[in-house]
Structure 1
Amino acid sequence: MTGYGLASFEDDTFILSVEVKTLNSKFLDLSIRSPKQFSDKEQEIRNMVSAVLERGKVNVSIDFSRKVGEDLPVGFNVSLFSSYYHKYLEMSNLVGADSKDLFKIALQSPNVMTQVTEKTSAAEEWEVVKKYLNIALINCDGFRRDEGNVLEKKFKENLSVLRSGLASISKEDPIRKERIRLRIRNNFKEWLEENDFDKNRFEQELIYYFEKVDITEEIVRLSTHLDYFEKNLKEGTNQGKKLGFISQEIGREINTIGSKANDANIQKHVIVMKDELEKIKEQGLNII
Structure 2
Amino acid sequence: MIKSMTGYGKGEGASAELSVSVEIKSVNHRYCDITVKAPRSLMALENETKKRVGERLRRGKIDVFVNLEFTGLAAAKPVMNRPLVAAYVELFEEMRNSFPVDGGIPLSLLVQQRDVISLEEGALSESLLRQALEAAIGKAVDALEAMRVAEGSATCADIEERLRLIEEMLGKIEARAPRVAEEWRGKLSERLEKLGGDVAFDPQRVAQEVAIFADRCDISEEITRFKSHLEQFRGLLQAEEPVGRQMDFLTQEFNREVNTMGSKSNDSELTRTVVGIKAELEKIREQVQNIE
TM score, norm. by length of structure 2: 0.85
Identity %: 28
Map of 1:207 onto structure 2: 211
Quick one: which amino acid aligns to residue 142 of structure 2? I
Following superposition, the deviation at residue 64 of structure 1 comes to: 1.9
Per-residue deviation, 1:210: 1.8
Q: 2:99 aligns with which of 95, 101, 106?
A: 95
- What letter is aligned with 2:238? K
Deviations 1:116-150 (A, max 9, x none): 57866531232122122122212222321222222
2:278 is aligned to: 274
1:1-288, aligned counterparts within 5 Å? 1-9=5-13, 13-68=17-72, 72=76, 75-97=79-101, 112=116, 116=120, 121-189=125-193, 194-195=198-199, 200-288=204-292
Q: Relative contact order (alpha carbons < 8 A, sep ≥ 6): 1 or 2 greater? A: 2
Q: CA deviation at 1:98?
A: 6.7
Number of aligned positions between the proteins: 288
Give, in whole Å, the separation in 1 of the partners of 2:111 and 2:29.
Answer: 51
230-239 or 189-198, larger mean C-alpha shift: 189-198
CA apart distance, 1:188 = 2.5
Return the alpha-carbon distance in structure 1 between the equivalents of residues 79 and 232 of structure 2.
Answer: 67
Cα distance in structure 2, aligned partners of 1:265 and 1:273: 13
The separation in 1 between residues aligned to 2:45 and 2:112, in whole angstroms, is 35
The structure-2 alpha-carbon separation of the partners of 1:12 and 1:50, relative to structure 1 and needing over 3 Å to count, comes to closer
Q: Is the 8 A contact 1:37 1:119 kept in 2?
A: no
Question: What residue ranges of structure 2 are gaps of 5+ in the alignment?
Answer: none
1:41 Cα deviation after fit: 1.0
Shift in Å at residue 198 of structure 1? 5.9
Supply the distance in 1 between the matched residues of 2:138 and 2:277 (Cα, whole angstroms): 43
* One-letter identity of the residue aligned with 1:59: D
Structure 1 vs Structure 2 CA RMSD: 2.9
Which has the higher mean CA deviation after the structures are superposed, 275-284 or 162-171?
Answer: 162-171
Residue ranges of structure 1 left out of the alignment (5+ in a row)? none
- Using a 3 Å threshold, how does the CA distance of structure 1 residues 279 and 79 change in structure 2: closer, same or farther? same
Secondary structure of the residue aligned to 1:235 is coil
Distance 2:155 2:75 in 1: 52
Give the counterpart letter for 1:91 in structure 2. Answer: M
Aligned equivalents of 1:125, 1:111: Cα separation in 2: 28
**Superposed CA offset, 1:225-245 (max 9, x none):** 212211222223132111111
Question: Within 2, Cα distance between the matches of 1:204 and 1:98?
Answer: 120
Q: Distance in 2 between matches of 1:177 and 1:10?
A: 75
Residue deviations 1:192-228 (CA, integer Å, cap 9, x gap)? 8544566555543332222112222222222222122
